[in-house]
Structure 1
Amino acid sequence: MVENFLPKLSQNLLDVLNDEEFYDITIEVGKDPYVKIFRAHVVILYYRSPYLKRILSTNKKENDKTLAHIKLPNISPEIFQIILRYIYGGNVSLEECDALDIIKILGAASELSLHELVTYLQSLLVENKTKWIEEILILYIKQVLKTILSWNFKNIVLI
Structure 2
Amino acid sequence: MSIQFFPKLSQNFVELLDDDEYYDITIEVGEDPNVKIFRAHTGILCYRSPYLRRYLASNKKNNDNVLAHIKLPNISPDTFQIILKYIYGGIVSLNENDTSDIFKILVAADVLHLNEMVDYLQKTSRILRGFHG
Structure-2-length-normalised TM-score: 0.95
- Inter-partner Cα distance in structure 2 for 1:121 and 1:53: 22
Q: What residue in structure 1 maps to residue 52 of structure 2?
A: 52
Counterpart of 1:96 in 2: which secondary structure?
coil
Structure 2: distance between partners of 1:99 and 1:65: 42
> Structure 1 residues 132 and 65, CA, compared in 2 at 3 Å: closer, same or farther?
farther
CA contact (8 A) 1:99 1:132 kept: no
Q: How large is the Cα RMSD of the aligned pairs?
A: 1.1
Tell me the matched-pair count: 133
| Partner in structure 2 of residue 83 of structure 1 | 83
State the Cα distance separating 1:3 from its structure 2 match.
2.1
Question: Structure 2 regions of 5+ residues with no counterpart?
Answer: none
Structure with max Cα Rg: 1
Find the aligned partners of 2:132 and 2:96 in 1 and give their Cα distance: 14
Aligned partner of 2:111 in structure 1 is: 111
Q: Which residue of 1 aligns with 2:61?
A: 61
Identity of aligned residues (%): 62
Task: Return the offset for 1:130.
Answer: 2.3
Tell me the secondary structure at the aligned position of residue 30 of structure 1: strand
Q: Aligned with 1:92: secondary structure? A: coil
Post-superposition offset of 1:132: 4.1
Report the Cα offset of residue 91 of structure 1.
1.3
How far has the Cα of 1:19 moved from its partner?
0.4
Provide the C-alpha distance between the structure 2 equivalents of 1:104 and 1:56, rounded to a whole number of angstroms.
Answer: 23
Aligned partner letter, 2:93:
S
Which residue does 2:16 correspond to in 1?
16
Using the size of structure 1 for normalisation, the TM-score is 0.80
- Normalized per residue, which structure has more strand? 2
Question: Is contact 1:125-1:132 (8 Å) kept?
Answer: no
For 1:13 and 1:116, how far apart are their aligned partners in 2?
18
Aligned-pair distance for 1:66?
1.3
Gaps spanning 5+ residues in structure 1: where? 134-159
Structure 1 Cα separation of the partners of residues 132 and 46 of structure 2: 33
Indicate if the aligned counterparts of 2:99 and 2:128 stay in contact, CA closer than 8 A: no
* Structure 1 counterpart of 2:7, one-letter code: P
Q: Deviations over 1:87-124 (max 9, x none)?
A: 00011111111111110110110111101100110011
CA deviation string 1:13-38 (max 9, x = no partner): 00110000111100000000000000
